[in-house]
A and B are shown apart, each in its own frame.
Chain A
Amino acid sequence: MTAASPPTVPRLHAKARLQHDGVRGRDVLLYPEGLIALNPTGAEILGLCDGVRTVTDIVAALERRYGATGESVERDVTAFLAGLAAKGLVTYGS
């Protein structure tokens, strides 16, 4: 199911920081001159980007947590991370 994913390790760029926004009851990603409000799933994905887990590991962890299977989790995680990578907020290593 995730065999096609390359063994890449997504990492939050050093300029970006996850922060809880208590006033608005949500998590946000803060970076130079900007911020992105995260939904709970987005915050969870970024919380799993620990510099060790691969995309495959993150998908597997989410599937375990929610008992979900199939391609939708992988598609969501990949699309979410790709969006942040396009802004330079997530980088991939191995």
Chain B
Amino acid sequence: MDPKPLWLLAELTYKCPLQCPYCSNPLDFAGPRFRRELSTEEWCRVFREAKALGVLQLGLSGGEPTLRTDLEDLIREAHGLGLYTSLITSAYRLTKERLAALKAAGLDHVQISIQGADADLSDAVAGTTSYRDKIAAYHYTRELGFPLTVNVVLHRRNLHQVEALIRLAESLGAERIELANTQFYGWALHNRDALMPTKAQLDDAWRVVQRERARLGTTLEIVWVLPDYHEQYPKPCMGGWARSYMTVTPAGEVWPCHAAGRITTLTFENVREHPLEWIWEHSDAFTRFRGDAWMPEPCRSCPRKTQDFGGCRCQAFLVAGDAALTDPVCTLSPHRHLIDAAVAEVEGAVGAVDWTYRAAPASRALAAKG
């Protein structure tokens, strides 16, 4: 049976007031490739085509999606189609009035990031004073009756706060806290040495998660996104390439995941030139790694291939140099030593490594370098 997508991530803009050094946006987000943002009508057409194709879950993300002044119109269209809408926001300068307007437009769920459990660390990681806005917005979401997800990207400098972060989410009455260990793509890969945790940090945090899960039950769902460099086997990335998920970038390119645009050996199509259905069914980017015919050894004869789908194509490209290889995280991969070396470097490091904040000047410089 041909797979149909269930999930659409709409990256409405790459503009963002925050500067998190692990941002999953492309390094060249401020370059010419992403400059001409889709209009309100173009996005509405994308949502209609997505629904007709089978999409049920819509993530409205960025950058910072609330910078789009037409967000209410976009949500109204998506809600009218029956899509379940989630806003993924930094909550920077987000007012209760704006949230109420988004609720009236039909928004279902709000996901607000936080960068640390206290203002000092959160603002230092974000590179922008934003902690107070976030705490205020958490309370607004509860007052307005939104289900709330607190979203934290975990790394070397905030993993020690896992317990405080869970307690914070609990005190706010959140439904979920997503503790997402940094996945090394985009800016996170650029800043890998500064962000990579130690094994001891991960073990401590995992113990806290298990204990808190037992304590909280269904009161607060704790999602723990695995730190894949420290695993033996790769993650089942996106549930398999082009099986249930698609990302549309601010300027209309369609990717099988939000990191795939970095794979220079794939051709990406644009919603301005093709219907979404054609892109899903026929474009090079979506068909190249669908199914398992593309798989090399050790994946081809591996019984795990139906569970992990060969892991992540982006990671194979970024770390091993070829998107058609086994994910180098897999201990059966001939490139696993590249992952081990990155982990060992941090275990042996003394002192903190500086990171580069995600910001437009740095992005333009990286875009110019190619």
Give residues in A with beta carbon < 8 Å to B: 14-15, 17, 19-21, 23-24, 28, 30-33, 35, 85-88
Count of chain B residues with a beta carbon within 8 Å of a chain A beta carbon: 21
B161-182 interface (Cβ within 8 A of A): 175-176
Nearest CB of chain B from residue A85's CB, rounded to whole Å: 8
Contact A23 B52 (CB under 8 A): yes
Nearest CB of chain B from residue A51's CB, rounded to whole Å: 15
Q: What are the 10 closest A-B residue pairs judged by CB atoms, nearest first?
A: A15-B147, A30-B84, A23-B54, A88-B218, A32-B109, A19-B82, A32-B147, A32-B149, A35-B56, A15-B175
**Among the listed A14, A21, A85, which residue makes an inter-chain contact with B147, where contact means beta carbons less than 8 Å apart?**
A14
B12-45 interface (Cβ within 8 A of A): none
Contact B176 A32 (CB under 8 A): yes
Contact B109 A15 (CB under 8 A): yes
Is B80's beta carbon under 8 Å from chain A?
no
Nearest opposing residue in chain B for A16, CB measure: B147
Contacting residues, chain A, for B53 (C-beta < 8 A): 23
Nearest CB of chain B from residue A81's CB, rounded to whole Å: 14
Contacting residues, chain B, for A86 (C-beta < 8 A): 218
B49-93 interface (Cβ within 8 A of A): 52-54, 56-57, 82, 84, 86
Contact B82 A23 (CB under 8 A): no
Give residues in B with beta carbon < 8 Å to A: 4, 6, 52-54, 56-57, 82, 84, 86, 108-109, 111, 145, 147, 149, 175-176, 218, 221, 223
Nearest CB of chain A from residue B239's CB, rounded to whole Å: 12
16 contacts between A and B (CB under 8 A): A15-B108, A17-B108, A19-B56, A19-B82, A19-B84, A28-B56, A30-B84, A30-B108, A31-B84, A31-B147, A32-B86, A32-B111, A32-B176, A33-B57, A35-B56, A86-B218
Number of A-B contacts (CB under 8 A): 51
Nearest CB of chain B from residue A38's CB, rounded to whole Å: 13
Contact A35 B218 (CB under 8 A): no
Contact A14 B145 (CB under 8 A): yes
Contact A23 B4 (CB under 8 A): yes
**Among the listed A21, A23, A33, which residue makes an inter-chain contact with B86, where contact means beta carbons less than 8 Å apart?**
A33
Inter-chain CA distance A85–B223, complex, in Å, is 18
Nearest CB of chain A from residue B338's CB, rounded to whole Å: 31
Nearest opposing residue in chain A for B110, CB measure: A32
A33 and B52 in contact, given A15-B109, A15-B175, A86-B218 (Cβ under 8 angstroms): no
